[in-house]
Chain A
Amino acid sequence: MAGRRAEAWAGVVLTSPALLVFTVFMFVPIALTFWYSLHRYSGFGRMRWLGLENYRTIADDPTFWTALRNTAVFTAVSVPLSIALGLGAALLLNRWMPARGLLRALVYVPVVISGVAAGVIFLRLFDPVTGIGNQLLTQAGLPEINWQGNGAAAMVSVIAVTTWQGIGFGMVVYLAGLQGIPREIYEAAAVDGAAGWRRFRRITWPLLAPTTFFLVVYSIITSFQVFDVVYVLTRGGPGTSTTFLVQYAYDQGFNQRRQGYAAAIGMILYVIVLALTIVQWRLRQRRDASL
């Protein structure tokens, strides 16, 4: 009995640092965000109780729905794209080749560049008046693109930058996954005559499923939280063409001084990401159980 109690105390002691960190940096901010979302609050001055009014306003706010749709489109395009390209880079750079280390580093460099810096770089590149992007298009005899004045082009520019930044991360994670696949399986497959595409489809891809699952969950969460690149590159414009949920929450909270409303958007974002993660988790469990 005494041993069990000591064990329980040891558990509490050992988990308390992590619990403390989670409480201070996760649970308390989430609770405070919910509390703010029930108020009208400019960020300074007095808070006024609104109950669920902010949530009712969101339901009738067309810009919120536009931001949600934009975020979904952005996620639907950028997540598969960056994962696929990351996988392609990993498969390519998993085999021996000259300067393999250098090439891996080059693909990974965008990951360590801050979103703001990447945004500034591409802001210059995509500027329709002074940017080198349109100058190259013109020299190639192609029509100029109004990257920031045209909604679709602006969305493409944001997806391009975030994908560029995401490939390196996908590559590194997939490289780790690839190196965890036992060579014996490939050797057995070779004996059975499986090679190329078939080997990839039957061995590599299924055995990379946990890696892919992790990347999909992680990428979806980060896609829903995308902000820095958008803030620098388009500010959510033109109009609301590239306004995503976090950008919209920032705009409401800091530009329009509607921090309660912004907190309500944040809570909705939290619920969406949580729901997506649970759904993916359940799918993954079901898939594992069926194997």
Chain B
Amino acid sequence: MSAVGRRTFLKAVGAAGAAGWLGACSSDDDSGGGASTSGPLSGSATFTTWANDQEAAAFKKLAADFKAARGADIKIEVLPYDQIRTVVDRRLQANEAPDLFRVSYTDVGSYAENGALADLSDHFGDSFGDAFLPALWSAVQSDGKPFGVPHHTDTSALVYNKAHFAKAGITSVPSSLDQAWTWEQFTDVLRKLKAANPGVSPFAFNYQLFGAYRWFNTLYQAGGTLLDDALENPALDSAQTRKALEFTRSLYTEGLHAPSVLVKRPTYPDEIFPTQKISMIQAGDFLIPSLDAAIKDKFEWGVTYLMRDAGAATDLGGNAVVVTDGAKNLDVAAEFAKFLVTKENMQAFCERTTVLPVRKDLADAKLAYAARPDLMPVFQQQATTMPEGLVKAATSRAFAGINQALVDTMDQYLSNPSAGTDDTVRALTDGVQKALKA
């Protein structure tokens, strides 16, 4: 990996939280930066998560290691990604919630403010959070109280089918961030792909449902901004937003984007890409193992940088692990959460599942990724383009509602060439405003 790239990325994420963390001491304590207990534990706890095969295996290994180290059982319950939020909510309603569950950074705030999560201050100690990137540590807190641990982060880049590119006469792709395609160059590439590969959609975005916020990549590439500096008001009423919207829709109207891949429907481009019905997708690094397993030797594929306009931009993804307020075994749950994010365990999880660590002391570590390690440097470098404003917004309490505003609005615009851009900007602004006030 590129150490410089990772440092720059960490600066970008770190800048959104408490300032000056780079000067802080990295802790050698594997449990984080604070007080740790290591005595034997009894009983068991249930950890509910979604997971691909690699993630499920990694979590099971960590549970087995925890059992060996501390004596307590962790039952791993894997649910489909689309359903986990609803299932966890209903179990919270019925007072049958799991002890811990995996949750995106964008959803922690909403659980915390509804009183669903346990305050782990006593379990973590004052300096525990110093071990993590400030923005992501703040994402698992509410009113200064920690409710879980930041587990990893991830980001998007362009995944492409090399055979389709060769057929279109595209012999090279950008090999560094500063060579990333401009929107015009990117559109030309898609036109060539369309002409050379009939019956195949040239491209698809990965902005479905809970990932709708990934459209903000395009907004920030255009130089737009989601919220004002104080994160209190929408800043979407701008020429940049209109440009980003019109660029996105033009891909549909020109037939350059897979028509069935919209925002509201769970048609995920990474599920279609292995069928060779789409030549290029915007995809997260966490998908590399499943893409690798699905594609096998069917065709060669690679990764390059996201397109840029006024600038480059990508999204902050990733997940936390939180402990529920009604956890039947709070001690075991809290200790397992800490166990997941020790330096050694976070590194092992990231290597196995191709995601990025969130501990400061892994900033310079050379990670040996299990699947397609050749591709990860692109994602790591791309991660340095996470806009500070977007990172701040993505870790705010209102972000789940902001994401929903996109889900409610974007399909109307993208699927209807006559839908007004101004109307869409207004609808988005209203939706974001509503989320901020909720």
Chain A interface residues (CB < 8 Å from chain B): 42-46, 63, 127-130, 146-151, 234-240, 254-257
Contacts and interface: CB of A to CB of B under 8 A. Distances in A.
Nearest to A130: B277
B199 to A, nearest CB: 8
Interface stretch (B110-118, B356-364, B380-388): B110-118
Closest 4 CB pairs of A and B: A239-B412, A237-B264, A45-B114, A238-B411
Interface in B58-93: 85-86, 89-90, 92-93
A148 B89 contact: no
21 contacts: A43-B89, A43-B90, A44-B89, A44-B116, A128-B258, A129-B260, A130-B272, A130-B275, A146-B260, A148-B267, A149-B252, A149-B259, A149-B415, A234-B264, A235-B264, A238-B414, A238-B416, A239-B409, A239-B411, A239-B413, A257-B114
B93 A129 contact: no
Contacts of B263: 237
B114 A44 contact: yes
A238 B262 contact: yes
Given A44-B116, A46-B115, A239-B411, A256 B92 contact: no
B314 interface: no
Given A44-B92, A45-B115, A254-B89, A129 B404 contact: no
Contacts of A234: 264-265
Interface string B163-202: 0000000000000000000000000000000000000010
Contacts of A127: 260, 267
Interface of B: 85-86, 89-90, 92-93, 110, 114-116, 201, 209, 252, 258-267, 272, 275, 277-278, 401, 404, 408-409, 411-416
A257 B89 contact: yes
Nearest to A135: B199
Contact of A239 (B110, B252, B264): B264
B408 to A, nearest CB: 7
Nearest to A236: B264
A265 to B, nearest CB: 15
Given A128-B260, A234-B264, A255-B86, 12 more contacts: A43-B90, A44-B114, A130-B272, A148-B260, A148-B262, A151-B415, A235-B264, A237-B411, A238-B264, A238-B265, A238-B414, A238-B416
Given A45-B114, A238-B414, A129 B252 contact: no
B208 to A, nearest CB: 10
Contacts of B92: 43-44
Given A129-B277, A235-B265, A235-B266, A63 B408 contact: yes
Given A146-B260, A238-B415, A256 B404 contact: yes
B399 to A, nearest CB: 13
Most chain B CB within a 10 A radius of its CB, from A130, A147, A235: A235
A239 to B, nearest CB: 3
Given A44-B114, A45-B115, A129 B89 contact: no
A273 B272 CA distance: 41
A195 B256 CA distance: 59
A257 B414 CA distance: 26
A89 B86 CA distance: 41
Given A44-B89, A44-B93, A239-B411, A149 B260 contact: yes
A109 B93 CA distance: 37
A203 to B, nearest CB: 48
Contacts of B93: 43-44
A256 to B, nearest CB: 6
Contacts of B272: 129-130
A150 B272 CA distance: 20
A129 B401 CA distance: 30
A161 B90 CA distance: 30
A238 B412 contact: yes
A130 B92 CA distance: 38
Contacts of A239: 264, 408-409, 411-413, 415-416
Contacts of B258: 128-129
A256 B435 CA distance: 10
Contacts of A238: 262, 264-265, 411-412, 414-416
Most chain B CB within a 10 A radius of its CB, from A44, A63, A127: A44
Contacts of A255: 85-86, 404
Contacts of B86: 254-255
A58 to B, nearest CB: 15
Most chain A CB within a 10 A radius of its CB, from B209, B277, B404, B415: B415
